[in-house]
Structure 1
């Protein structure tokens, strides 16, 4: 399905990003993975993708808060593979705190990684996509791209920004064979979600089980976490020719959250 295509997925050394990188590789795409983590574990994932799926997989340790490192990553990918055909902006971090206590450095980091990095990658990828007359830009949004929750000012602001960026880019490239969409899941059980539980416990004076039941899943009528594989399957679909007329869309995968 994706043979001779190249997919670059930011924030893909674990969780949603890794699941997306693997499904792209499984369907024939060469992949560029990116993120932080233990070097040996990352190499195991990288080499495992190559061995399991018979594609080429390279790793970039580019810091998503640094525009020059992002530009270098995109240039290296284009040099290695000719172009980035499928760009998945998935890198993200989270911090939970009341607005008056929200650390300035956390705000800056969340906006940089969750929003500005997507601008930098898209800025670099679009010329190559235009030249080929084909491209897929997939941004990991969130239900928080559409609605807000308390204590998540930076994250909600960044994800609302992703929604606006996605729509604007979709309009600009609509006649170039390029689509731009955002996947907006509800709560997915990932390391990012797991790590925010202690902060939410502190902010809301709750136990862990209360946070899961009364905060995380309270908004999702299905009362189930979205899985990383479900998000990856959506990314694969948006990369297919069947989705060529889907652009500028916020693809909700939130168990009915935003429908309420």
Structure 2
């Protein structure tokens, strides 16, 4: 198994992409901490992993709360003694044109994606730097780390910013054997994306079918959504990669929506 004896913490892991990655990591031998704002849902994911023979724990975590992030990381270290992989995955979305977007809604999206990533990074690096083996920081970016779309200004801005954070961690962390990369999915049918479909339909004055066909999938090579399994596979590859040959990079998995 590719992650035997590794300990991973994933934010926003009670569902969607985070859960898919957690389940895949557990099948590959990792101990997985399911960090989420919704502790009940996190426990349900933990139970599902344990039923399949994996090792997992639930951690209540608001990624915008410094004390909560510090306490959650400390809980994982106390339980398992180390932290090998940390994934800043928690995210939200807000659909609205810039000229009517409130500062409060801008800040809310930026805080979850970018502030949350910083807080996890800071806490995780302090532990990884103490470990002879270092560690792996991963960030859940998006094709919107590369491109912009209408109605998503704070999300696009935050996802672009994660590239800069990742690259800085790659430079600073190298001396401590810490690698870091950004995963950039295309549209995946998670609750976050499903919520956007009617919102974009209303904002653009088109049908939900048209949002899927003419907005979300129009630039893919096969008109297919990226899948949870696709992203879990990329996350596994990046976590298991053995050297710093692959660090500070952004890996796009989008059915050709964005090619670099």
Quickly name the TM-score band, shorter chain normalised: over 0.9
Whether contact under 8 Å (1:170, 1:248) holds in the other structure is yes
User: Which residue is equivalent to 2:233?
Assistant: 233
Deviation at 1:255, TM superposition (A): 1.6
Deviation at 1:143, TM superposition (A): 0.5
Aligned partner of residue 17 in structure 1, secondary structure: helix
User: Which residue is equivalent to 1:99?
Assistant: 98
Please give the alpha-carbon distance, in whole angstroms, between the structure 2 residues aligned to 1:136 and 1:118.
14
Alignment TM-score, normalising by the size of structure 2: 0.94
Deviation at 1:20, TM superposition (A): 0.5
Deviation at 1:243, TM superposition (A): 5.5
User: Which residue is equivalent to 1:16?
Assistant: 17
Corresponding pairs, count:
258
Structure 2 residues without counterparts, runs of 5 or longer: none
1:60 aligns to 2:28 (yes or no): no
Whether contact under 8 Å (1:98, 1:151) holds in the other structure is yes
User: Which residue is equivalent to 1:48?
Assistant: 48
Alignment of 1:1-260 (within 5 A): 1-37=2-38, 39=40, 41-55=41-55, 57-132=56-131, 133-242=133-242, 244-259=244-259
Structure 1 residue ranges, 4+ long, deviating more than 3 angstroms after superposition: 241-244
1:20-54 residue CA offsets vs partner (Å, 9 max, x unmatched): 00111111111110224482x54332122123134
Aligned partner of residue 79 in structure 1, secondary structure: helix
Q: What is the CA RMSD across the aligned residues, in angstroms? A: 1.6
Please give the alpha-carbon distance, in whole angstroms, between the structure 1 residues aligned to 2:226 and 2:94.
20
Q: Return closer, same or farther for 1:243/1:236 CA change in 2, 3 Å cut-off.
A: farther
Structure 1 residues without counterparts, runs of 5 or longer: none
Deviation at 1:222, TM superposition (A): 2.6
Deviation at 1:244, TM superposition (A): 4.2
Aligned partner of residue 12 in structure 1, secondary structure: coil
Alignment TM-score, normalising by the size of structure 1: 0.94
